Structure 1
Amino acid sequence: MTAMPPAHALPQRRPFRRLWLAYALLCLMCWLLYAVAGTDWQRDAGRFWFGLYEATWNLGPAFLLGPLAWPWTRALQQRPRRLAVRLGWHALGAVVFAALWQGLDVATAWLFFGAAHASATFEQGLVWRGAWGLFVYGVLVFGFGGVLNAQRAHSAALKAAQTEAALVRAELSAISGKLNPHFLFNTLNSLLMLVRRDPARAESALLGFSRMMRYVLDSTRLPDARVSLREELGFVRDYLALEQLRLGPRLRVEWDIAPEAEDEALPPLSLQPLVENAVGHGIAPQVDGGLLTIRAQCSPQALHLRVQDDGAGCEWPRPSDASPTGRGIGLSALQRRFELDYDGRAGWAVSSAPGQGFTVDIHLPRS
């Protein structure tokens, strides 16, 4: 069985195919223009056929030798050289190209018309073919050099895009790596406290915890994974059930979920860090607890999410000299994650003030 070429090599064929197709079309255009320019249409339009013959005879060798300028130009561009050295090599190439053109023209005349005609052709065309050889060589070098520069620019842009995509994926993985263990440690602490007080309820809580672990493992294998809002809400409900075992009636939850929003896709663990922040910083510190509101609505353009608590709140945005808190660090990581995941199209708003609770609104563009 014939081995298939590597996948990254296949796309390279098409640019070269287009290059030589463009070269063939350019040669055809020059051939026709030469024939048309050499025809006296007012006296004898039939001389057009003789013009085609002259164009073939005079330009054919240049057309055949033209592709040789491609590897020569590429070889000179692959190694950095001083300008004077490069010009010297090009001068040599131009002389060789003109000599080859002259030699091919004389050899063709010798083959078809004999030695005397070949000698006359050489004497009559030495100067003008030499000049034209230098000119055509310059045109070929500029044309092929432009193609090579364009290919290098395209390759550099492609590598830069691939590098940026790899950096984005790495940063998403790093952010997910920071978010995922954060709630696991807190949940394990809650379970440890519950085991000491009520082992039977702790066993039920461990079943919910196992569902949460399965969700995390299934949905965060890739940094650009997506889950439905329904799955994310199920995970949040399990998490809140564990927290209610610890906080009891101090934690009250109000759900406002539009049915059509539950099928929308979003990154996993999008709501859980916000819910955990609201419980840990807004409700748990209060003697009487508080109310957590989770809202999800849909518009034609976006999925709108809100996580709100009626806790003590804080000054927001925080002063630049304020010490960072878990809530601030978690929000920053989550916001950066949305920016990367949605290419800056996700909306994000935080509102809070002392005594007025804490609210986070997220607007994720619908696919």
Structure 2
Amino acid sequence: MAIPERAPAPAAEPAHWLPNFCSWPVLFALIVIGELVALIVVLAASDVSVPSWQSLGVASLFVQWLAALWAVSLCKLRPLLLRLQPWMGEFVAVTLALVATTGLSWLVFVLDQNLRFGLVDASADVVRFVLRNGVICALVVGAVLRYFYVQEQWRANVQAEERARFDALQARIRPHFLFNSMNVIASLIRARPAQAEAAVEDLADLFRAALGRADAQTTLGEELDLARGYLRIEELRLGSRLGLEWDVAALPRDVELPPLLLQPLVENAVYHGIQPLPQGGTVSVLGRVEPAALVIEVRNPCPPPAARRGGGNGIALANIRSRLALHYAGRAALLVEDQAESFVCTLRLPLPG
């Protein structure tokens, strides 16, 4: 069983002080912030009177045009701004917003005074009107840039934590498993050389996956093959004490997913379930496709609670849950049923598209 080499996934974009204003999440956040600013401006200017829908509509149109102009400018100029020092780039970004706000404010004031649209108070002064909008713009733009900067830093911290957790999972390939596997392979070399060669290939595939890039993607078929290879090695070591049941024919093998989601589950099933039982037991890997999800169950018998091994199992499960949360944003889950004589882990992954 050989897992084909896959091109590494592109590294995640590093965090910057300036977000990507060409992305839909940032544009949507900017639209929402702009609408809130328009509502606050209308409410603040209304004093005790009830603001009209017309006033809110005019203010929203003005603010959204400014936000769109600013977003397009930062979207196009982002590569250039990121080459500057952060303080200089922020100064340019704020200056762009101020120039757009003051220019558009002056244009609106002049057109309204000449065409009698009634959008601006007739008694208002152009300098005061433009200055007021400029001050509001400077305060809001400063807050928006700070908000997006904090978001970028949070995203970078989450990704760093995910990489650290994945490195910890990679380091969990237990030394005694390696030594036991090598001893089994050594004992098979003369008597059953074909089995020894197959075990070496399975072991190489397992360590290739464990030592791979944290940001690489794999497929469900490769994860299933990796789990089968691991269980074949354990089957050589445990002999008839380890029974296997596979029912995964319904699963699509080409679905992409983060690596090392399934192998730690079958490893825990053997280490915490089968190995402590003198009579052994059967590890069952069952898969099915539901309307919106792929479901994979790993079942194993386990000793009574008082005789169970402590540590390790909870760490691996928490690790997988954290990686699912990061990659699928709440659309995937790992459910655990810890019963008196059995242990069931259910992995639910969203269907692509």
**TM-score (normalised: structure 2):** 0.64
Q: Residue 305 of structure 1 aligns with which residue?
A: 296
Residues 1:18 and 1:353: Cα distance change in structure 2 (over 3 Å): same
Distance 1:161 1:341 in 2: 17
- The 5-angstrom pairing of residues 128-207 of structure 1 reads 136-183=126-173, 185-195=175-185, 197-200=187-190, 201-207=195-201
Matching residue's letter, 1:235: L
Residues 1:313 and 1:269: Cα distance change in structure 2 (over 3 Å): farther
Distance 1:309 1:303 in 2: 20
Q: Residue 245 of structure 2 aligns with which residue?
A: 254
Matching residue's letter, 1:30: F
Question: Root-mean-square deviation (CA), in Å?
Answer: 3.2
Residues 1:272 and 1:186: Cα distance change in structure 2 (over 3 Å): farther
- The 5-angstrom pairing of residues 1-367 of structure 1 reads 7=79, 9=81, 20-21=99-100, 23-36=102-115, 136-183=126-173, 185-195=175-185, 197-200=187-190, 201-217=195-211, 220-223=212-215, 225-312=216-303, 314=305, 325-355=311-341, 357-367=342-352
Gaps of 5+ in 1: 38-130, 316-321
Q: Residue 51 of structure 1 aligns with which residue?
A: none
Distance 1:5 1:283 in 2: 60
1:139-187 deviations in Å (ceiling 9; x for gaps): 3333112212222222112211211111111111111111122125243
1:314-344 deviations in Å (ceiling 9; x for gaps): 49xxxxxx99521122212222222222222
Distance 1:323 1:253 in 2: 22
Secondary structure of the 2:294 match is strand
Work out the number of aligned pairs and report it: 259
Distance 1:326 1:260 in 2: 29
Distance 2:244 2:229 in 1: 13
1:49-86 deviations in Å (ceiling 9; x for gaps): xxxxxxxxxxxxxxxxxxxxxxxxxxxxxxxxxxxxxx
Which moved further from structure 2: 275-284 or 259-268? 259-268
Residues 1:213 and 1:354: Cα distance change in structure 2 (over 3 Å): same
Secondary structure of the 1:300 match is coil
Using the TM superposition, give the Cα deviation of residue 260 of structure 1 relative to its aligned residue in structure 2, in angstroms: 4.2
Q: Residue 119 of structure 1 aligns with which residue?
A: none
Matching residue's letter, 2:214: L
Residues 1:6 and 1:211: Cα distance change in structure 2 (over 3 Å): same
Q: Is the 8 A contact 1:226 1:267 kept in 2?
A: yes
Distance 1:195 1:347 in 2: 36
Using the TM superposition, give the Cα deviation of residue 195 of structure 1 relative to its aligned residue in structure 2, in angstroms: 4.8
Q: Is the 8 A contact 1:314 1:352 kept in 2?
A: no
Distance 2:319 2:115 in 1: 70
Q: Is the 8 A contact 1:348 1:360 kept in 2?
A: yes
| Percent of matched pairs sharing the same residue | 30
Distance 1:283 1:274 in 2: 13
Residues 1:14 and 1:36: Cα distance change in structure 2 (over 3 Å): same
Q: Is the 8 A contact 1:187 1:242 kept in 2?
A: no
Using the TM superposition, give the Cα deviation of residue 266 of structure 1 relative to its aligned residue in structure 2, in angstroms: 1.7
1:213-254 deviations in Å (ceiling 9; x for gaps): 23334xx4133x321110001111111111111001111111
Q: Is the 8 A contact 1:278 1:292 kept in 2?
A: yes
Gaps of 5+ in 2: 1-75, 83-88, 117-122
**TM-score (normalised: structure 1):** 0.62
Distance 1:271 1:239 in 2: 11
1:251-295 deviations in Å (ceiling 9; x for gaps): 111111134432222210001111000001101111121011112
Secondary structure of the 2:105 match is helix
Secondary structure of the 2:173 match is helix
Q: Is the 8 A contact 1:290 1:309 kept in 2?
A: yes
Matching residue's letter, 2:338: S
Distance 1:185 1:303 in 2: 33
Using the TM superposition, give the Cα deviation of residue 351 of structure 1 relative to its aligned residue in structure 2, in angstroms: 0.7
Q: Is the 8 A contact 2:105 2:130 kept in 1?
A: no
